Structure 1
């Protein structure tokens, strides 16, 4: 068997490899059997080529096959989703925000799962690193200090001061609110960087509750003078409760750009925010983004 060379077949590749004085048994030892799956065919030997050269070629083949046989696993993340902010996010894990986020991450091969929780709890879970992120968060100074944000908002939404229709008010904007007015807000929500200043200047009394429905009921029974609610969200609850003729928006509080906020404890957060930006931009270029803003689109 000396003075012969072996013709190794690796998968579909046929590679002529020269050997010096050796036997098939030497090269089909346990080491080679474990690391390289080759069939041997004997052919005449080339002269002047060393065993070391053969070894390098074999290792190159093994490395090549190993790289090309590795299947890239898609990135998977978990986000906290608010349970009471229709049409953007509801208690069933549905809504505009879910649709936009899911489709945007699909563009960049990221799988997401969601945990539906009250908004304030989602913020805490994200801060603690229990989840990778939370939506729907306004990017303002108070949240920038706590979370990682991308550059592309999910959407932009306005919030207004709502009053009972029979409530007497001559204010034409928030800075004209009567001093010591009682204002209802939702626990954990952001109301713009001006809100703290407004409360201080107008000496407002702030009452915090957990849901839009509670705010609406407090307005109806006169327990508060006004409530700040996001317009599209308020429209859903006012319609559901059948009080369209009893409550109305009078003037704007602020306009918010809504984002996914990522945990500062996750070293991948900057990368995740960039991937989401990329996915959102892709949706807009494809013309799909506007369709996903529709409440019934899935």
Structure 2
């Protein structure tokens, strides 16, 4: 009799344990879903990246933050569905706010040794820009690199701008006169208040035109450096690496689909 009942008992036990296991799996699945739902996941559509841009580097970014750099950054993030908010500030303020974590990032930053210590960068620059030495027309000076500039020479520059690693290594020897606006450098050169100024070439062209001055009022010398211009992301933000990777993907997309070339061609035509 007991032997005959055993198969029935085994069957009931199998059903019982199957039910227990199923219940455990069900509760586990519910907990897993709940846990995943509480995890802070980054997706391009669920956050707004707050970026800063300077207000004095036309035609890359004018007093309203408008220009080629802004068009490229917005197009790249839009290509990956990422929303951005852009605040316009003086360049030095952009850098300090990014470094302090008040902004997620800032753009028009030259990637060099000094900035890599302060910020996180992606793999791709948004553009490249060359800067040269400028003198008053008729000046006999013609420095080939920052190493050629004599000690205590007066050199005009923009506050907190980066001018390449060579210039950075030499600038402590100069009597550097740093100002906030490009037209201030041009006026100092014309008034012979400084020996040489370092300015980005397209910015000089734009600023001279805006000041209604002919190009020949200044003498353009050797190229100081060519900058890879980036979006710099804050080291205070744990998502900065993801933001940089998202930007890289967007830049790749707009280079492949022709948007980047169209923006650059429009820039050249201006």
TM-score computed with the length of structure 2 as normaliser: 0.80
Please give the alpha-carbon distance, in whole angstroms, between the structure 2 residues aligned to 1:116 and 1:131.
11
Deviation at 1:53, TM superposition (A): 7.5
Unpaired stretches in structure 1, ≥5 consecutive residues: 1-49
Residue by residue over 1:199-218, the C-alpha shift from the partner in whole angstroms, topping out at 9 and shown as x without a partner, is 46xx4321111110110110
Please give the alpha-carbon distance, in whole angstroms, between the structure 1 residues aligned to 2:54 and 2:233.
15
Whether 1:273 and 2:244 are equivalent positions in the alignment is: yes
Give the conservation status (yes or no) of the 8 Å contact 1:88–1:295.
no
Higher strand proportion (structure 1 or 2)? 1
Residue 207 (structure 1) aligns with: 177
Unpaired stretches in structure 2, ≥5 consecutive residues: 1-18, 37-42
SS at match of 2:246: helix
Residue 201 (structure 2) aligns with: 231
Please give the alpha-carbon distance, in whole angstroms, between the structure 1 residues aligned to 2:229 and 2:84.
18
Give the conservation status (yes or no) of the 8 Å contact 1:75–1:109.
no
CA 1:91 to 1:172, structure 2 compared with 1: closer, same or farther past 3 Å? closer
Equivalent residues in 2 for 1:1-298 (5 A)?
73-199=45-171, 203-243=173-213, 244-293=215-264, 294-295=266-267
Count of residue pairs the alignment pairs up: 239
Please give the alpha-carbon distance, in whole angstroms, between the structure 1 residues aligned to 2:72 and 2:52.
15
Deviation at 1:125, TM superposition (A): 0.5
Please give the alpha-carbon distance, in whole angstroms, between the structure 1 residues aligned to 2:226 and 2:101.
29
Q: Flag the structure with more relative contact order, 1 or 2, with Cα contacts below 8 A and sequence separation at least 6.
A: 2
Deviation at 1:237, TM superposition (A): 0.5
Give the conservation status (yes or no) of the 8 Å contact 1:171–1:178.
no
Deviation at 1:248, TM superposition (A): 2.5
SS at match of 1:295: helix
CA 1:226 to 1:53, structure 2 compared with 1: closer, same or farther past 3 Å? closer
Residue 7 (structure 1) aligns with: none
Please give the alpha-carbon distance, in whole angstroms, between the structure 1 residues aligned to 2:51 and 2:192.
37
Deviation at 1:75, TM superposition (A): 2.8
CA 1:75 to 1:223, structure 2 compared with 1: closer, same or farther past 3 Å? same
Please give the alpha-carbon distance, in whole angstroms, between the structure 2 residues aligned to 1:60 and 1:151.
39
Larger Rg over CA atoms: 1
TM-score computed with the length of structure 1 as normaliser: 0.73
Please give the alpha-carbon distance, in whole angstroms, between the structure 2 residues aligned to 1:95 and 1:196.
27
Higher helix proportion (structure 1 or 2)? 2
Residue by residue over 1:148-202, the C-alpha shift from the partner in whole angstroms, topping out at 9 and shown as x without a partner, is 00010001111000111122225455444445321100001001111133346xx
Give the conservation status (yes or no) of the 8 Å contact 2:77–2:250.
yes
SS at match of 2:228: strand
Please give the alpha-carbon distance, in whole angstroms, between the structure 2 residues aligned to 1:108 and 1:172.
42
Give the conservation status (yes or no) of the 8 Å contact 2:139–2:219.
no
